[in-house]
Structure 1
């Protein structure tokens, strides 16, 4: 069967951004994609879902749900052998999927991501080592050591990749049970990558593919997002997954 990428996009009052992303996808003419668009709150669409050269499935939530729950629900509707988690505030200026799928041809690789750039072209820190209790304490004290990766031309294997754009093998996502829905927002990507690694899968960042991220960090501007961030961080730090992945890394 030919490859099919199921792209999951969740809009929380971001239909205008989603419309631009849909136009980007149409302009790049990627082969073999379908889009599952989740409207997390009631909003009108500024476009006709049937006007695109790819299938668009729409989910309208009766009440808002978390990041993990929404993407897990989209996965249940997905027909593709690859599953892409994509934020509506991503802009796609060149087809990233060819290079990413090439990396995923290796069955040992469970998830990949392109280089994430901000609107000025600077590289965002979307691929990092796993957070540890000591690294978070140092960060809180303003003494966080450099824990980032050197980016060159070749793909690298970071501990985790950000959920604004990740492409996964369907079988890998299913094997670990998808996202942990107990993470309402934040750290669900860290937790997923940790469980993928514990299951024996590699995680790759592919610099030959890149996209632009328009986001501003909500947790710096809205107390709800700050609380969700703190709750998710605490959940991960106290989790057995964190302890297992640190123990595995120490071997």
Structure 2
């Protein structure tokens, strides 16, 4: 099952859904589209959708985590997927291998390699966002030194893991909900599995362009840094680094 949330992304959603219908019909059984803002419904391809397609129309906008939690509530599929509307599938179906990887013993979630529209590798894999790590990244221009979490543009989770972590923490209205989710997966003793398939992710962070989004980003970081999840995960990841010499990709 795939959950997609649109914030007025009609054209992007249309393109993504047709990618899914064309490339992933044998893998994807159900797609739930949440329209967080009023917009037209996507047009089905000739012959109709090859998967169960459901649309949820919000009467009032909700946060990123809330929308996905509602869409995935009660899912009975063996795996669930959080997928951004600005993702394109490129030349093939990534979900067969993503679902297979998510089903491996100990896997907490599986994720693809993300490329931008020019085919360049995107920085979707990140280390724990400590103040020092953010300083080193933003002001010194240094690359990430390890992989502690991945962004939620495309995440495939075993349904029991999604239930065990309780989905996204809805206290994060926007930003850092994917950090928190990945850290809680790690605290379950589960791993984040990078799969050698790629998707194209065209999105840019609105916090780089809009003051309101920057404010939400800072608030979410402060919430994260003061959370028990962050404190516990920091100890766990430090212990892992001490025993292996690096944290890296689990």
TM-score, with length taken from structure 1: 0.89
Q: Which residue of 1 aligns with 2:197?
A: 209
Aligned to 1:95, which of 70, 93, 96? 93
How big is the shift at 1:27?
Answer: 0.9
Q: Which residue of 2 aligns with 1:231?
A: 219
Q: CA RMSD in A?
A: 1.7
Q: Tell whether the 8 Å contact from 1:127 to 1:205 is kept in structure 2 after alignment.
A: no
> CA offsets per residue over residues 120-177 of structure 1, 9 Å max, x none?
000101011111132234446x13543245xxxxxxxx31111111111110011011
Q: Runs of 5+ in structure 1 lacking a partner?
A: 1-5, 150-157
How big is the shift at 1:107?
Answer: 2.7
Q: Which residue of 1 aligns with 2:40?
A: 44
Q: Which residue of 2 aligns with 1:159?
A: 148
Q: What is the total number of aligned residue pairs between the two structures? A: 236
Q: Which residue of 1 aligns with 2:80?
A: 83
Structure 1's 139 and 209: CA in aligned 2 closer, same or farther, altered over 3 A? closer
Q: Runs of 5+ in structure 2 lacking a partner?
A: 240-250
Q: Are residues 1:185 and 2:174 paired?
A: yes
Aligned to 1:212, what secondary structure does the other structure show? strand
Counterparts of residues 1-251 of structure 1 (less than 5 Å): 6-28=1-23, 29-48=25-44, 51-93=48-90, 94-139=92-137, 142-143=139-140, 145-148=142-145, 158-206=147-195, 208-251=196-239
Distance between the aligned counterparts of 2:84 and 2:145, measured in 1? 23
Q: Which residue of 2 aligns with 1:152?
A: none
Runs (4+) of structure 1 exceeding 4 A deviation are none
Aligned to 1:193, what secondary structure does the other structure show? helix
Distance between the aligned counterparts of 1:86 and 1:176, measured in 2? 18
Distance between the aligned counterparts of 1:117 and 1:160, measured in 2? 17
Aligned to 1:203, what secondary structure does the other structure show? strand
> CA offsets per residue over residues 192-216 of structure 1, 9 Å max, x none?
000010011111111x210001112
TM-score, with length taken from structure 2: 0.89
